[in-house]
Amino acid sequence: MSPMPLLLGALLLPLSALAADEAPNYAEDTLTGDWGGARSAMFKKGLALDIGYKADLLRNMSGGIEKGGRPISHIDIKLNVDFEKLAGWSGGSGYVNFIEDHGGKTNAQQVGSLTGVSNIEVPVNTNRLFQAWLQQEFADGRGAVLAGLYPIDSEFATIDSGGVFVQPPYGATADIALTRGPSIFNNPAFGFRGRWFSADRSAYVMGAVLDGIPGDPNHPRGTHIKFDKGDGIMSIVEIGWKPGAARPAEPAAAAAGKDPAPKAEAKEEAAEQIEKYAAGLWRYSSRVADQFDTNPDGSPVNRRSWGWYALAEKTLHQYKGGADLAGFVRISGTDGDSTAIKQAINLGIRVKALLPGRGEDVFGLAYTRAALSSKWRSAQRVLGTDATAAEDAWEITYRIQAAKWLAVQPLLQRINHPGGDNSRSAANIFGARVEIAF
């Protein structure tokens, strides 16, 4: 699928009768500018079109499977639609997100970690429609219902202060990512999400139900919406509290006309203060084979997968001169019967404006411990693998905001017992991420 129909469809919509809202400064915030005023005109009409590019240049220096690594690339084309501005549809919004992912498989081929080394590495190179949904708000924005292609890691279990890190477990929890078919990057499922905020917008509850196996496993490339017998559904619910929150954030990106165009910046940088506490539960309706237990006839026992998570993040201190320190902790767990990871913990800090005169730079230090289930370890021993009790991963990074449209992010990672294999020495990964807003 080509991105051109999305671009042309947006550009050909009528751009007269412009709204009064001031458009972002595309000339400074993006590499390609305002396109002769077309982007500002679209924005005022209720359309925000943004194009981004990421490249991870990572190399495993020692340990793991083998030395080496190849560049990984990710292209994002996002179109936010405010239907109230565009067509007078009160409370209506939409979002279309086309992605293209190509490049090396540094984790799969060189490291072998269960938690991963890059959040843009994908199993199969492909381009696809990643998100495409409509949303209706009601009760003055306190409630909302969404339907379409929707990844749960755009809203559920999110850690804003963890957005600077390149390793995957600071997005979707590591245990959810290894289940039979979660709707997360880069393979979405069709589903529905509902959300309700308290009167002061600080407390919320949200839930989603989605196809239990996203896409078409037999055709991993491209965009597929297929409901097979046996897929079942995945359901997830979260309750949370964000003290001082003035208005709910939209999944993946703010509605067009409400927030400025995204720059090549870590997503947590938009807020002066961070504070959030949340907990969630998830479950699959269809049963899957137990990793170790068998029936008398030797066939695997079938069980339902389920899990939970809890998180807290907060701005811990703000320093004179603009620097601020934020920290987070998130714990999660599963049944341990059908997934390799029984429990996981994420810990981290991020410091914005650590160095004088570098107000948009971000320093981050994070740690993940993925405790492996006893059944998975038993199954590995049967296969001849010396399975360890846990995989530990560290990341230290410094994101340099070289221009409003350009970020360069050197990083170091260390992963002990990659893949839960005690015979593998620790992997040491060095590299950088480059991010451009076009």
DSSP for 333-372, please give it. Answer: EE-SSSSSEEEEEEEEEEEES-STT-TT-EEEEEEEEEEE
Per-residue pLDDT, averaged over 136-162, amounts to: 97
Range of the domain at 146: 51-75+90-252+268-437
Q: Residue 314: pLDDT above 90?
A: yes
What is the rounded (10 degree) CA torsion for 39, 42, 43, 48?
A: -80
Per-residue pLDDT, averaged over 111-115, amounts to: 97
Look at the chain and report how many structural domains it folds into.
Answer: 1
Q: 């221009």: which residue's tokens?
A: 403
CA distances from 276 to 35, 151, 160, 310 (A): 38, 21, 9, 11
Q: Which has the closest alpha carbon to 196: 141, 115, 125?
A: 141
When pLDDT is cut at 50, 70 and 90, the band that residue 355 belongs to is confident
Per-residue pLDDT, averaged over 307-323, amounts to: 91
Q: What was the pLDDT predicted at 272?
A: 67
CB atoms inside a 10 Å sphere around CB 146:
23
Q: Mind listing the pLDDT tens digit for each residue in 364-388?
A: 999 999 999 999 999 898 888 899 9
Counting every residue, how long is the chain?
438
Pairing of strands 390-403, 406-416: antiparallel
**For position 300, which CATH number holds?**
2.40.160.180
**What are 424's two structure tokens?**
């593998």
Write the single-letter amino acid at 419: G
Cα–Cα dist 384/361, whole Å: 46
Per the rule left: phi > 0, alpha: psi between -120 and 50, beta: everything else, 353 is left
Is 302 within a domain? yes
Is 395 within a domain? yes
CA distances from 417 to 69, 106, 331, 370, 407 (A): 19, 16, 20, 11, 31
Q: What was the pLDDT predicted at 246?
A: 58
Q: Cβ contacts of residue 387 below 8 Å, gap of 6+?
A: 372, 376, 377, 380, 381, 420, 421, 422
Q: Cβ contacts of residue 37 below 8 Å, gap of 6+?
A: none
Q: What was the pLDDT predicted at 290?
A: 87
Is 24 within a domain? no
Per-residue pLDDT, averaged over 46-54, amounts to: 96
What predicted TM-score, i.e. pTM, was given to this entire model? 0.88
Is 16 within a domain? no
3-state secondary structure of 106: helix
Q: Which has the closest alpha carbon to 282: 315, 254, 308, 252?
A: 308
Please answer whether residues 126 and 324 qualify as being in contact, where contact means their C-beta atoms are separated by less than 8 angstroms: no
CA 204 from centre of chain: 20
Mean pLDDT taken over the chain: 89
Cα–Cα dist 6/98, whole Å: 8
Q: Which has the closest alpha carbon to 254: 159, 155, 362, 148?
A: 155
Q: Residue 165: pLDDT above 80?
A: yes
Q: Residue 15: pLDDT above 50?
A: no
Q: Which has the closest alpha carbon to 120: 162, 57, 176, 183?
A: 57
Burial 399-432 (b: 16+ CB within 10 A, else e): bebeebbebbbebebbbbbbbbbeebeebbbbbb
Is 2 within a domain? no
Burial 107-124 (b: 16+ CB within 10 A, else e): beebbbbbbbbbbbbbee
Beta-bridged to residue 103, according to DSSP, are 72
Is 31 within a domain? no
Please answer whether residues 114 and 160 qualify as being in contact, where contact means their C-beta atoms are separated by less than 8 angstroms: no
CA 304 from centre of chain: 25
Q: Residue 20: pLDDT above 70?
A: no
Q: Cβ contacts of residue 225 below 8 Å, gap of 6+?
A: 149, 190, 211, 215
Q: What was the pLDDT predicted at 271?
A: 43
Is 262 within a domain? no
Q: Residue 288: pLDDT above 50?
A: yes
CA 234 from centre of chain: 18
Q: What was the pLDDT predicted at 389?
A: 94
3-state secondary structure of 419: helix
Q: Mind listing the pLDDT tens digit for each residue in 54-108?
A: 999 999 999 999 999 999 999 999 999 999 999 999 999 999 999 999 999 999 9
Per-residue pLDDT, averaged over 408-434, amounts to: 97
Per-residue pLDDT, averaged over 150-170, amounts to: 97
Q: What was the pLDDT predicted at 293?
A: 84
Q: 């490291």: which residue's tokens?
A: 111
When pLDDT is cut at 50, 70 and 90, the band that residue 251 belongs to is low
Q: Which has the closest alpha carbon to 233: 176, 190, 196?
A: 190
Is 261 within a domain? no
Q: Residue 22: pLDDT above 90?
A: no
